Chain A
Amino acid sequence: MSAVAIADLSRDLARLEESVRARASELLESQQVRMVIGHKRAWNGPLAVAHFAVSPKEARKFAAGPHCTGGLAKYLLEEREKDGVVAVIARGCDALGVRRLLIDRRVDAEKVLVLGVPCAGCLDPAKLAEALGVTPAELVEVTLAAGALRVRLAGQEQAAAGPPLDKVLPPTCMACEVRMPVEVAEMLGGDLAALTALAGRPPAIDLETAEAEVTRLEELSADDRYAYWAGHFQRCLRCFACRNACPACNCRVCALDSYDPKWLGHPTEIPEQFMFHFIRAVDVAGRCVACGECERACPVGLPLMQLNRKFSKDIRTLFGVDRPHLPGEHEPLGKFEPDDPEEFM
């Protein structure tokens, strides 16, 4: 990508933000939708939070850009019983999340309008803080100018130049193959040459590299692998943030909440922690959309995407499907077919 195009990126993001506000406003004004779900500036800190606009006035608060982290698709589950259409401002991962809910028949297609936005990746505050030698809480404001971040830290009046955005993305965004969202009703922002060019670049981490970490864990001895995961799982608070943030975790009744039968014991001790995380990971195997929300939501930094990637690698090995979460791909575990070759069926 040329230097000129990078310089245009912040202008594109400003245009995109204006386009999101205008389109949301229009849809609400004309009552084509009853709610638009997107992001808005947070009370504090650099990251945006989910925003639910039901009036044109509230639509003016919408934001777009690399600070708009946090998945939006899952919120549709809570709107499913209500009448009327809900629009979602969808990055690629959000659009795949919505698609997940549609395939799983948890949301009616007639009640959802997916408004796509191209995405340059969403910043990882931990990585940004590390690059600047501060703690994530010290990041007050982050903006994108000419392809590099400008960061204002706690106690500072002025923002200073930070690292380039692509150096502070979470691994999930670095491996993202859907920066241009798929299966959307319309794309917002119009002609955004710089952003589109950036979003169209191949991912910085390809499938093979992403799986190298899984291979490393597979090659450990059983005892070492147990020690690795026990070390992580003993931190787990059992807060269910990973499950609740996940668009593929959309069961009507979750096995992890079930008392009868009781699949999961209540102690937060190592055997139950393994059971908890394996149930979660196995239940989304083949349906995970690789949005990384589980890992992002976790308050104690569990590397949950490693488990998800292990299962996606297994699916590739066993069924020959690389990306079961993408349109046009065969879903080996998420779909029933009468002519399933599995003989015991």
Chain B
Amino acid sequence: MDATRITGASLGAARIPSGPLDKLAAAAARVAGDGALVFGPARDGSVWGWKLCEAADVPQSDLWERLVNTDVSPKELFMPRTEDIARWRDRLRNLSIAEPAAPPPVVVLGVRPCDAASFDLLDEVLIEGPFSDESYRRRRGATLLITWACGKTGPACACDAFGLAPAAAAGDLMVYPDGNELLLSALTPKGLEVLGDLTGGSTAGEALTGRVDAVAAALNAQKTAVGRRLALDDLTANAAGLTATLFSSDIWTELSPRCLSCGTCTYVCPTCYCFAINDEPRGGDGRRIRTWDSCQFKEFLSMAGGHNPRPSKVERVRQRFMHKLNYHPERYGKFLCVGCGRCIVSCPVGLHVAEVGEALSRAAAAAVSAAKGGE
């Protein structure tokens, strides 16, 4: 696994007291650009999600001591559940088409390292690949990501099983809890600008970046409960060579029966990015919209003419987990999972990436040892 995903490289550091974060939020908003919106974790009903913060209700730093992570991932800030591709008006054949306005600059205050890393994974697919997803690219480019290192891990956390760690460096600016203070470390020029704005331009000495490294190393040494049980190295080594074996493994018929074919796992997942495009006409006017879609839905791959290449749960469950644990590693060298643990918590029937990962890893190990035995 790629160690730079965990350590990163600090461009500069600063120290601020714990407590109110309104100054940090304001500095980040100024750097992000005019009219920047600040989003932070917020409780809605019984569920933690992401809400627009007014200056007065920016959360205090103790929130991140209490909250392991939000129940809903921050991906909807970059991939809204519903977004316009275009709107049209047909005032009696005088057709006009309007594209959506450019997204406003956004500051996301306090994503966890796993979620920040999820955006790096999405960037590779949606921006850096042969096709660039225009809407995602614009939103990502307009965003400043402040990542909050984890002082403790939750029972469903699994970052270390997926090549990450509790304080893996990702986003623009890292925040590390350090006693009664917070250490800030810039990972990008944007992050460095925030530090400059916050400290009035004073640059941090080497002593502070040394402290950042020490604190980060201590936090990264934490092992998660799930990570202690899961060893997935067999899945990344020789991923391409294993595809056919794992595809036809018995584990899919063993694991898939309990699946409800709902979209919970894919919708709470920070790295699932499938979408649907639909026209919503209303009289002569209408909108072409993009919404989330899930490979677990029965109708997901239904084609005109009625053919469905993934007619049963065996194919659909296999698709989701093979994509995360084999196809993506084969193509990009890493899992399409950051171990946030949301599917572990939210799947109504307890079918999640840890259990499937373990079963698949066992199948991979068996295939590898069988191949060795045959040599």
Cα A44 to Cα B81 in complex, Å, equals: 30
List residues of B (253-286) whose CB comes within 8 Å of A's CBs: 257-258, 260-264, 266-268, 276, 278, 280
Nearest neighbor of A70 in chain B, beta-carbon distance = B349
Q: Which of B45, B71, B266, B278 neighbours the largest number of chain A CB atoms within 10 Å of its CB?
A: B45
Q: Is there contact, CB below 8 Å, between B264 and A239? A: yes
Q: Which residues of A contact B276 (CB under 8 A)?
A: 266
A299: CB under 8 A from chain B? Answer: yes
Question: Is B54 part of the binding interface, using a Cβ–Cβ cutoff of 8 Å?
Answer: no
CB closest residue in chain B, given A51: B258
Tell me whether chain A's interface is mostly helix, strand or loop, or mixed. Answer: loop
Contact A50 B154 (CB under 8 A): no
Q: How far is the CA of A191 from the CA of B278 in the complex (A)?
A: 58
Q: How far is the CA of A42 from the CA of B351 in the complex (A)?
A: 9
| CB interface residues, A 116-170, toward B, < 8 Å | 126, 135-138, 140, 154-155
A43 to B49, alpha carbons, bound, how many Å? 26
Closest to B291 in A: A266
Is B189's beta carbon under 8 Å from chain A?
no
By size class, the interface of chain B is: 35 or more
B16: interface (CB < 8 Å): no
- Separation in Å of the A23 CB from the closest CB of chain B? 20
B226 contacts the other chain (CB 8 A): yes
A133 to chain B: closest CB distance in Å? Answer: 12
Q: Is B210 part of the binding interface, using a Cβ–Cβ cutoff of 8 Å?
A: no
The reply to whether B46 and A126 contact each other, CB–CB distance below 8 Å, is yes
Evaluate whether A44 and B297 lie within 8 angstroms (CB atoms) in the complex, with A140-B155, A301-B46 already known. Answer: no
Q: Give the A interface residue count (CB, 8 A).
A: 44
A27 at the interface (CB under 8 A from B): no
Is B346 interfacial (CB 8 A cutoff)?
yes
Q: Tell me if B355 counts as interface (CB < 8 A to partner A).
A: yes
Cβ A49 vs Cβ B350 within 8 A? yes
Does residue A45 face the partner (Cβ distance < 8 Å to B)? Answer: yes
Contact of B82 among A136, A239, A269 (CB under 8 A): A269
Contacts of B155 in A (CB 8 A): 44, 137-138, 140, 154
Distance in angstroms between the alpha carbons of A93 and B221 in the assembled complex: 46
Taking a contact as CB atoms under 8 Å apart, the answer to whether A244 and B225 are in contact is no
Give 4 nearest A-B pairs by CB, closest first: A301-B46, A297-B348, A241-B262, A43-B355
Q: Chain A: residues with CB nearer than 8 A to chain B?
A: 42-45, 47, 49-52, 70, 74-75, 78, 126, 135-138, 140, 154-155, 231-232, 235, 237-241, 243-245, 257, 265-269, 296-297, 299-302
Interface residues, chain B, with chain A CB atoms under 8 Å away: 44-47, 49, 68, 71-72, 81-82, 154-156, 225-226, 257-258, 260-264, 266-268, 276, 278, 280, 289, 291-292, 294, 297-299, 313, 341, 344-346, 348-352, 354-355, 358
Between A and B, 19 residue pairs with Cβ closer than 8 Å are: A44-B355, A45-B350, A49-B350, A52-B258, A137-B68, A137-B156, A138-B154, A154-B154, A232-B45, A239-B263, A243-B262, A245-B260, A245-B262, A245-B348, A266-B278, A266-B280, A267-B82, A267-B291, A299-B348
